[in-house]
């Protein structure tokens, strides 16, 4: 298990921890790790993967050790929504791949491909040259067929060295589930890149298979579309995994209480705001935003030195905004900058609407009531029993983390976390 304080929201589906974040935030996390070439693992989970983990304890440990286990299949998205993550969207493998290629070429991050066959890799390369002409492909390495036992035992020292020397920040892996996840787990801490298991994305992007139309994907019927294309390979998998998943998922929904939303360490959140036994003054709690430079430092997108350099340039060219300079220097992409600027001043009501805990029209009514009183929005909602005390604490905690730049900073050290605790209790 990881030693850092995990601040990535996670919800357990059957025996697997599923990352409860939207596609955009998961993409930005991968990109941030790729910039500094951290050894990270990303699993894109569907029903097949969840059932493999349910039946196989060693594979369950692989998912538990992953940095992100993204909900690729719509059944997992629906499951998360039933468990209280109302705003969860699908983090599909093809969407992850296309978004990362686009942002990687903007950020000058190189990519490496491992797995599949040379013919497919060459087709991928040719299409990438047309759609992402500036993207740097650091290398492509087809792997010969291996049994699962071979994948678990083999370490590929020569390949590890080749990938690390290439300078790639993103490593796309195609060996099929569960081989690719075991392979990634086997190389955690050894390959200096964000390793992402993409499976069927390789042949689909190469044009071997067709991706289902958008409306079919939204209906959750992509599995059926794929079944028509590969009946001999997928029939046994679907018949063996879908029925037990439906049964176990319904059982979990019925028998377990629905959480509001959950961090990996729910207990950690208890330190960050007063307990039920303490008088929590909602009226005086006002999380203030940090400066954008400080937020980007906390997000590991800038160093103190790089920020100082950018500020010096701004003093010479005062007509330029700090964000414009940072974009020009390649410290982050425009979508990332917009995301962090939005988080810098995110409002309490905005988080509630984003999480679909409050309808926009209901928020407007509450804001009108707020104008007629001296009360905070959270205070009004408590009085009207629209939110529980625990929900209020967690939303305010998230608002504070976002405004300060600590949101999704999974490298935070205990000393910094203690400062965070002190800051909140002193507010």
- For 37-65, the DSSP string reads T--EEEEEE-HHHHHHHHH-HHHHHHHHH
Whether residue 277 sits in one domain with residue 206: no
Nearest to 22 by CA among 63, 71, 67, 64: 71
Whether residue 87 sits in one domain with residue 234: yes
Whether residue 184 sits in one domain with residue 131: yes
State which residues form the domain around 53. 10-255
Give the end of a domain, one of 225, 255, 285. Answer: 255
Which pLDDT score, from 0 to 100, does residue 269 have?
Answer: 41
Q: What angle do CA 123, 125, 128 make, to 5 degrees?
A: 110
Whether residue 83 sits in one domain with residue 38: yes
Q: pTM here?
A: 0.85
User: Do the beta carbons of residue 168 and residue 138 sit within 8 Å?
Assistant: yes
Distance CA 229, CA 209 (A): 7
Residue 2 lies in a domain: no
Whether residue 365 sits in one domain with residue 315: yes
Whether residue 371 sits in one domain with residue 231: no
Tokens 């086997």 identify what position? 186
Q: State the burial class of residue 47 (Cβ atoms within 10 Å of its Cβ: 0-12, 13-18, 19+).
A: buried
What is the tally of structural domains in the chain? Answer: 2
Whether residue 231 sits in one domain with residue 126: yes
Residue 244 lies in a domain: yes
Q: Which helix (DSSP H) or strand (DSSP E) does residue 356 occupy?
A: none
Residue 5 lies in a domain: no
Residue 60 lies in a domain: yes
Residue 4 lies in a domain: no
Which pLDDT score, from 0 to 100, does residue 257 have?
Answer: 58
255: its two tokens: 């028998």
Q: How many CB atoms lie within 10 A of CB 172?
A: 28
Q: How far is CA 183 from CA 42, 67, 275, 334, 404, in A?
A: 12, 15, 43, 33, 37
Residue 3 lies in a domain: no
Whether residue 297 sits in one domain with residue 160: no
Whether residue 221 sits in one domain with residue 293: no
Whether residue 189 sits in one domain with residue 75: yes
Residue 372 — left, alpha, or beta (φ > 0 → left; ψ -120 to 50 → alpha)?
Answer: alpha
Q: Who contacts 390 (Cβ-Cβ below 8 Å, separation ≥6)?
A: 260, 276
Which pLDDT score, from 0 to 100, does residue 394 have?
Answer: 81
Residue 305 lies in a domain: yes
Residue 261 lies in a domain: no
Whether residue 316 sits in one domain with residue 226: no
Distance CA 220, CA 246 (A): 14
Give the end of a domain, one of 255, 277, 307. Answer: 255
Give the end of a domain, one of 255, 284, 308. Answer: 255
Whether residue 161 sits in one domain with residue 294: no
Q: What is the pLDDT along the chain (427 residues), one digit of tens a residue?
A: 333 344 688 899 998 999 999 999 999 999 999 999 999 999 999 999 999 999 999 999 999 999 999 999 899 999 999 988 888 999 999 999 999 999 999 999 999 999 889 999 999 999 999 999 999 999 999 987 677 777 766 668 889 999 999 999 999 999 988 999 999 999 999 999 999 999 889 999 999 988 888 888 878 888 777 788 878 777 787 888 889 999 999 999 888 655 544 443 343 344 344 444 444 556 566 778 889 999 999 998 999 999 999 999 999 998 999 999 999 888 899 999 999 999 999 999 999 999 888 999 999 999 999 988 888 888 899 889 888 887 888 888 888 889 988 888 865 433 334 334 334 334 3
Which pLDDT score, from 0 to 100, does residue 144 have?
Answer: 75
């Amino acid at each position: 298990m990881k030693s850092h304080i995990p601040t990535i929201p996670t919800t357990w589906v059957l025996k697997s921890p599923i990352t409860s974040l939207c596609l955009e935030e998961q993409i930005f996390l991968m990109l941030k790790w790729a910039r500094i070439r951290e050894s990270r693992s990303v699993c894109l989970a569907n029903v097949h993967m969840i059932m493999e983990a349910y039946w196989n304890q060693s594979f369950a440990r692989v998912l538990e050790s992953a940095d992100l286990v993204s909900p690729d299949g719509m059944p997992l998205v629906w499951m998360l929504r039933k468990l209280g993550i109302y705003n969860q969207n699908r983090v599909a493998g093809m969407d992850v791949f296309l978004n990362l290629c686009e942002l990687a070429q903007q950020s000058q991050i190189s990519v490496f491909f491992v797995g599949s066959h040379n013919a497919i890799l060459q087709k991928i390369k040719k299409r990438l040259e047309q759609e992402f002409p500036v993207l740097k492909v650091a290398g492509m390495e087809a792997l010969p067929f291996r049994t699962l036992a071979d994948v678990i035992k083999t370490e590929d020292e020569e390949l590890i060295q080749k990938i690390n020397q290439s300078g790639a920040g993103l490593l796309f892996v195609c060996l099929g589930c569960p081989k690719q996840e075991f392979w990634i787990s086997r190389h955690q801490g050894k390959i200096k890149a964000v390793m992402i298991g993409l499976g069927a994305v390789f042949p689909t992007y190469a044009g071997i298979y067709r991706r289902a139309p958008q409306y079919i994907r939204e209906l959750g019927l992509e599995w059926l579309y794929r079944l028509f294309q590969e009946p001999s390979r997928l029939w046994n998998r679907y018949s063996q995994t879908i029925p037990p998943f439906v049964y176990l998922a319904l059982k979990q929904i019925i028998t377990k209480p629905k959480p509001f939303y959950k961090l990996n360490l729910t207990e950690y959140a208890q330190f960050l705001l007063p307990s039920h036994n303490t008088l929590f003054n909602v009226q005086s709690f006002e999380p203030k935003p940090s400066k954008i430079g400080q937020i980007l430092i906390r997000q590991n997108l800038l160093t103190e030195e790089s920020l100082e350099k950018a500020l010096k340039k701004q003093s010479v060219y005062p007509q330029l905004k700090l964000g414009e300079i940072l974009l020009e220097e390649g410290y982050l992409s425009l979508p990332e900058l917009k995301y962090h600027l939005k988080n810098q001043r995110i409002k309490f009501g905005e988080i509630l609407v984003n999480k679909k805990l409050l309808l926009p029209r209901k928020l407007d009514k509450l804001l009108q009531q707020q104008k007629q009183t001296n009360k905070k929005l959270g205070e009004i909602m408590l009085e009207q029993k629209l939110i529980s005390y625990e929900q209020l604490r967690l939303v305010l905690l998230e608002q504070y983390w976002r405004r300060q730049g600590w949101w999704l900073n999974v490298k935070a050290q205990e000393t910094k976390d203690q400062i965070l605790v002190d800051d909140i209790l002193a507010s």
